[in-house]
Amino acid sequence: MTAQIINGKEIAAKKKVEIAEHVATLKSQGVTPGLAVILVGSNHASRTYVTNKEKTCKDLGMYSLLIEMPEEVSEEDLLAKIEELNGDPAIHGILVQLPLPKHIDERKVIETISPVKDVDGFHPINIGRMMTGQNTFLPCTPYGIMVLLEETGISIAGKNVVVVGRSNIVGKPVGQLFLNQHATVTYCHSRTKDLKLHTKQADILVAAVGIPNFIKADHVKEGAVVIDVGINRNEDGKLCGDVAFDEVSEKAGYITPVPKGVGPMTITMLMYNTLKSAEQSLT
Ligand code: GUN
pTM higher than 0.95: yes
Residue 105: active-site member: no
Distances (CA, A) of 120 to 31, 50, 110, 192: 21, 13, 9, 29
Residue type, 189: H
Ligand 1 atom closest to Cα of residue 120: 7
Asked if residues 117 and 85 have their Cβ atoms less than 8 Å apart, the reply is: yes
Whether 219 has a pLDDT exceeding 90, the answer reads yes
Query: Whose CA is closest to 50, among 61, 41, 37?
Result: 37
Q: Please give the domain boundaries of the chain with CATH numbers for all domains.
A: 30-115 (3.40.50.10860), 139-262 (3.40.50.720)
The tens digit of pLDDT for each residue in 221-271 reads 999 999 999 999 988 999 999 999 999 999 999 999 999 999 999 999 999
Beta carbons of 240 and 214 less than 8 angstroms apart = no
List, for residues 42-96, the tens digit of each pLDDT value. Answer: 999 999 999 999 999 999 999 999 999 999 999 999 999 999 999 999 999 999 9
* Mean pLDDT value across the chain: 97
Task: Return the ligand 1 atom nearest residue 96 CA.
Answer: 9
Q: Is 242 in the pocket of ligand 1 (CB under 6 A)?
A: no
Is residue 140 in contact with ligand 1, taking CB distance under 6 Å?
Answer: yes
State pLDDT tens for residues 6-35. Answer: 999 999 999 999 999 999 999 999 999 999
ipTM of this complex > 0.90? yes
Contacts 24+ apart (CB under 8 A), 108-111: 108/75, 108/79, 109/75, 109/78, 109/79, 109/82
pLDDT at residue number 283: 82
Res 1 pLDDT > 90: no
Q: What is the pLDDT of residues 88-136, one digit of tens each?
A: 999 999 999 999 999 999 999 999 999 999 999 999 999 999 999 999 9
Q: Are the beta carbons of 75 and 103 closer than 8 angstroms?
A: yes
Q: If pLDDT is split at 50, 70 and 90, which confidence band does 169 have?
A: very high
Say whether 120 is catalytic.
yes
